[in-house]
Amino acid sequence: MARILVVRPDNVGDVIMTVPALRALRAAAPAARIDLLASPAGAAVAPLIDEIDGVVTASVSWQRLPGAPEPGADGDPDGALVTELAARGYDAAVVLTSFSQSPWPAAAICRRAGIGVRVGTSKEFGGDALTHWVPAPPDHGHQVDRALEVLGAVGVPARGTGLAVRVPADADVPAPAGRYVVVAPGASCPSRRWPPERFAEVGRALAERGWTVVVTGTAKEAELVDRAAAGVPGAHRLVGTLDLGGLAALVAGADAVVVNNSGGAHLADALGTPIVELFAGTEEVGQYAPRTAPARVLTRPVSCAPCRQLVCPFGQECLDVAPAEVVAAVDALTHIPD
């Protein structure tokens, strides 16, 4: 097959976790053009992935939150995407999803676009929108393994399960001289965010140990960054100044990152940078935990996990982790004795 489309219109971390599947596809079809269909957020990962040739960026209808504006004045919110995919002439599409997502909306779009081979997995059978329907793997498996199992079912063998991305050659980041730790207090929703004041306690303790602390976030996370950097001696504050390539360069040069369950954790994992991850009970740890870089995943077992909630109504008991525990984890990963 000459042209293959991989569909994963999700967040940064989800796209990073497709890399082993993309690696397997590239090994199986070295001469093919492999493109990624990604959300605007996920498309930012494309320059870091060697295994793809291009990216199709789309805000797909089935991933929009309630109340979001619907594009398409003709009442067909995905019509423009269908037209674009048809014009590109793909021979095959592989729809990758998490256990809680359905492949059928994306498969239907690909069928409308005339893509002849359409591969995906789900618990339920949804008719001929998929030409190759793969019964769903167990829910508790890691997202990397889930994608590889889908490909394996259609004869594409895995080529390793480790994450790997590259730092773009033109990445420019004002990294501090010497050794440093990156602190990233943001996450995609409030329920996944460890309190920024606790990040600040960690930052102050690390500064006392001689570390330079870099606190980073997007422009929308400026308040979180300010609170997480409060009182941290010599803290470098980077807000809204880095694209994903710049963040990759910053993380690749760090001795460790302290981060929530977020795209930053998956980025660090793919770059081999040691990770201390504050993992909320919104998801199962085993589905998303780091598996390539040295890591300490800190969480608390609670009866309501995994909740899938954007906002926690119970005081985030799953993230009731003491700053001292986080500092100890950084010490262990960076081999600094107490």
Contact 206, 182 (CB under 8 A): no
99 pLDDT band (50/70/90 cuts)?
Answer: confident
Is residue 124 exposed (0-12), middle (13-18) or buried (19+ Cβ within 10 Å)?
exposed
Q: What is the pLDDT of residue 216?
A: 97
Contact 228, 193 (CB under 8 A): no
CATH architecture of 3-153: 3-Layer(aba) Sandwich (3.40)
Rounded CA-CA distance 189/337 in Å is 35
Q: Is the dihedral of CA 197, 256, 180, 170 positive or negative?
A: negative
Residue 307 has pLDDT above 90, yes or no: no
Q: What is the pLDDT of residue 124?
A: 85
Look up the pTM and report it: 0.93
- Between the alpha carbon of residue 106 and those of residues 38, 61, 113, 115, 230, the distances in Å are 12, 10, 11, 11, 44
Quickly count: other Cβ atoms within 10 Å of residue 125's Cβ: 10
> In this structure, which CATH number among 3.20.20.30, 3.30.1050.10, 3.40.47.10, 3.40.50.2000 belongs to the domain 180-334?
3.40.50.2000
Question: Average of pLDDT values for 213-223?
Answer: 96
Question: Average of pLDDT values for 21-46?
Answer: 97
Q: Any residues with CB less than 8 A from the CB of 30 and at least 6 apart, and which?
A: none
Specify the domain boundaries for CATH 3.40.50.2000 within the chain: 3-153, 180-334
Contact 20, 161 (CB under 8 A): yes
What pLDDT, in 10s, does the model give residues 107-123?
A: 999 999 999 999 999 98
Q: Which run of H or E residues covers position 121? A: strand 117-122
Report the amino acid identity of residue 3. R
DSSP 8-class letter at 142: -
- Between the alpha carbon of residue 128 and those of residues 1, 82, 131, the distances in Å are 20, 17, 6
Count of CA atoms in the C-beta half-sphere (13 A) of 241:
14
Contact 126, 104 (CB under 8 A): yes
Q: Is the dihedral of CA 211, 216, 222, 224 positive or negative?
A: negative
Question: Average of pLDDT values for 145-154?
Answer: 96
Q: What is the pLDDT of residue 70?
A: 59
Q: Which run of H or E residues covers position 130? A: none
Three-state SS at 293:
coil
Q: Is the dihedral of CA 159, 277, 6, 166 positive or negative?
A: negative
Report H helices in the chain. 12-16, 19-28, 79-88, 104-112, 143-153, 196-208, 222-229, 244-252, 263-271, 285-288, 323-334
Token code pair at residue 233: 């001696």
Q: What is the pLDDT of residue 143?
A: 95
What pLDDT, in 10s, does the model give residues 272-291?
A: 999 999 999 999 999 999 99
Q: What is the pLDDT of residue 336?
A: 60
Q: What is the pLDDT of residue 100?
A: 84
What pLDDT, in 10s, does the model give residues 65-94?
A: 555 555 555 667 889 999 999 999 999 999
Give the percent of the chain with pLDDT over 90. Answer: 82
